[in-house]
């Protein structure tokens, strides 16, 4: 039996959670190996000066997270770590820095518990039936509670549940526009939106951005001169730059939309990473905004559950687009998300991801910090502007040969000029922090050497 006893002097919040968090940190750091027998409840309580009940709750929380397991008559033991999921189709020899997702934590244990509870539920059979196109009322009520955490008061009747954020964007655009229409987007834009616009035969008009996001004067000009009536934007942890639009600018963008009777599609899939995010644009112009969120970044990418929040008329149009595409979002996935929200698992997973973002950003700062980048400290993606002499496509090709996948600036660029010589690095994608270090170290070696002259020869 180990003599493990964490230092709780700087811990905040309930003691049992602090013990469980310390246990998770020591397991992650390798200080507690799989199979290690932990102190008895009474022994650890005496060492820490807490009640036996507090330790019991802490061990139960750790078991809930899949960290430990109890054996009657023998004690509590550290469990072997679950198999670390990798990006499908990516060789283990390549470090994935191209896919923008958050790392997997205790989601598998939460998922298993939710599925077990669903299977035992007397209403499980209902999930096999058709549901309302906008989603079940209980699921929409849970989403309304969830979005209130970012400062948006949402009526469940004005929420439509979709099969992920990409699907939410697709049904929203389909409800608002027709083939051949033009719509505005940031001049550096989420690639999935560019692909969707191409699929639907829509013409993208770039709007200038700066370190604070969409430039209000540029949006106003686009509305006045080009007659644009829809703007797609990612104001919080913008993809790819990682910028966060200040609240005053959000209010100004909302005012311009109201003035020109335009609609803003507000993509907020990463806002959960901020402890106190600025108020959504939708809060300033609820009748001129379709707010989009999803479980993909905040909970788990494979849970294809997204949602839209809009006024009653637009919600009906989006629900009609749902009927025309998937009829209804997958009820079982929505049920899992609802259970996670109601149980508190969703809040705990978000906290895990915020802590993971801080740890991984510290690794990136240590290895690549001298090269500089644009990104918020909590972002899982960094926008690295390359030193003189490097072209983004060439850098990405060299990085792949050295074992790291990155995304060049052309994937995000909307416009007629040359795309920026920059790359996006997704520090949440590598399955482990050790793998992240390996990938970033490879990039540091590349940046430290001048680009080979032959790379620029056509």
Q: What digits encode the pLDDT tens for the residues 298-328?
A: 999 999 999 999 999 999 999 999 999 999 9
pLDDT at 91: 67
Range with lowest mean pLDDT among 92-106, 180-194, 232-246:
92-106
pLDDT at residue 90 greater than cutoff 80: no
Burial class of residue 272 (count of CB atoms within 10 Å of its CB; 0-12, 13-18, 19+): buried
| Tokens at 233, concatenated | 């934007």
Q: What is the pTM of this model?
A: 0.83
pLDDT at 74: 80
| Tokens at 108, concatenated | 């598998």
Strand partners, 232: 185, 265
Burial class of residue 65 (count of CB atoms within 10 Å of its CB; 0-12, 13-18, 19+): buried
pLDDT at residue 188 greater than cutoff 90: yes
- In the predicted model, what is the mean pLDDT of residues 367-387? 91
Domains identified in the chain and CATH numbers: 15-78 (1.10.10.10), 95-101+346-456 (3.90.1150.10), 109-343 (3.40.640.10)
pLDDT at 177: 96
Do residues 75 and 35 make contact, with C-beta atoms less than 8 angstroms apart?
A: no
Residue-averaged pLDDT of the chain: 92
Q: What digits encode the pLDDT tens for the residues 113-141?
A: 999 999 999 999 999 999 999 999 999 99
Angle (nearest 5°) at CA 240 between 171 and 205: 55
pLDDT at 458: 45
- In the predicted model, what is the mean pLDDT of residues 365-380? 90
Q: Report the 3 state secondary structure along 420-447.
A: CCEEEEECCCCCCHHHHHHHHHHHHHHH
pLDDT at 31: 84
Q: Where are the beta strands (DSSP E) in 187-273?
A: 203-207, 209-210, 213-214, 230-233, 263-267
Q: What digits encode the pLDDT tens for the residues 327-364?
A: 999 999 999 999 999 999 999 999 999 999 999 999 99
Range with lowest mean pLDDT among 9-18, 100-109, 258-267:
9-18
Q: What whole-number distance in Å separates Cα of residue 276 and Cα of residue 271?
A: 9
- Residue 388 makes CB contacts below 8 A (sequence gap 6+) with none
Share of the chain above pLDDT 90, in %: 75
Q: What digits encode the pLDDT tens for the residues 25-46?
A: 888 777 888 888 899 999 998 8
pLDDT bucket at 89, cuts 50 / 70 / 90: low
Q: What whole-number distance in Å separates Cα of residue 7 and Cα of residue 19?
A: 9
pLDDT at residue 457 greater than cutoff 50: no
- Residue 103 makes CB contacts below 8 A (sequence gap 6+) with 353, 356, 360, 428, 429, 430, 431
């Amino acid at each position: 039996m180990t003599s493990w006893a964490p230092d709780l002097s700087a811990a905040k919040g309930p003691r049992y959670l602090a013990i469980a968090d310390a246990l998770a940190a020591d397991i992650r750091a390798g200080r507690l190996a799989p199979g290690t027998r932990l102190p008895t409840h009474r022994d650890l309580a005496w060492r820490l000066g807490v009640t036996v009940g507090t330790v019991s709750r802490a061990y139960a929380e750790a078991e809930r997270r899949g960290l430990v397991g109890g054996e009657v008559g023998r004690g509590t033991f550290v469990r072997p770590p679950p198999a670390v999921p990798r990006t499908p189709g990516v060789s283990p020899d390549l470090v994935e820095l191209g896919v923008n997702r958050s790392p997997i934590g205790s989601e598998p244990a939460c998922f298993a518990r939710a599925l077990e509870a669903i299977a035992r539920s007397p209403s499980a059979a209902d999930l096999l039936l058709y549901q309302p196109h906008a989603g079940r009322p209980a699921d929409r009520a849970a989403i309304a509670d969830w979005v209130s955490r970012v400062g948006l008061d949402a009526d469940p009747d004005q929420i439509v549940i979709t099969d992920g954020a990409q699907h939410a964007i697709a049904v929203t655009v389909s409800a608002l526009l027709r083939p051949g229409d033009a719509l505005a987007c940031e001049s550096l834009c989420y690639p999935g939106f560019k692909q969707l616009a191409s699929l639907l035969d829509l013409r993208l008009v770039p709007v200038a951005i700066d370190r604070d996001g969409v430039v209000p004067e540029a949006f106003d000009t686009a509305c006045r001169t080009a007659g644009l009536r829809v703007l797609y934007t990612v104001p919080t942890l913008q993809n790819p730059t990682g910028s966060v639009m200040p609240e005053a600018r959000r209010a100004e963008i909302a005012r311009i939309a109201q003035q020109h009777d335009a609609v803003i599609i507000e993509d907020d899939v990463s806002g959960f990473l901020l402890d106190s995010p600025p108020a959504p644009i939708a809060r300033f112009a609820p009748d001129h905004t379709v707010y989009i969120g999803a479980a993909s970044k905040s909970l788990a990418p494979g849970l294809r559950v997204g949602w839209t929040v809009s006024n009653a008329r637009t919600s009906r149009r989006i629900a009609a687009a749902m009927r025309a595409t998937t009829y209804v979002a997958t009820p079982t996935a929505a049920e899992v998300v609802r259970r996670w929200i109601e149980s508190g698992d969703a809040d705990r997973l978000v906290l895990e991801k915020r802590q993971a973002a801080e740890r991984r950003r510290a690794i990136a700062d240590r290895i690549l910090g001298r090269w500089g980048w644009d990104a918020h400290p909590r972002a899982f993606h960094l926008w690295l502007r390359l030193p003189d002499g490097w072209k983004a496509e060439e850098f990405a090709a060299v990085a792949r040969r050295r074992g790291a996948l990155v995304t060049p600036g052309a994937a995000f660029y909307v416009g007629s000029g040359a795309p920026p010589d920059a790359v996006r690095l997704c520090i949440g994608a590598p399955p482990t922090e050790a793998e992240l270090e390996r990938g970033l170290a490879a990039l540091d070696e590349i940046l430290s050497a001048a680009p080979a002259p032959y790379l620029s020869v056509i």
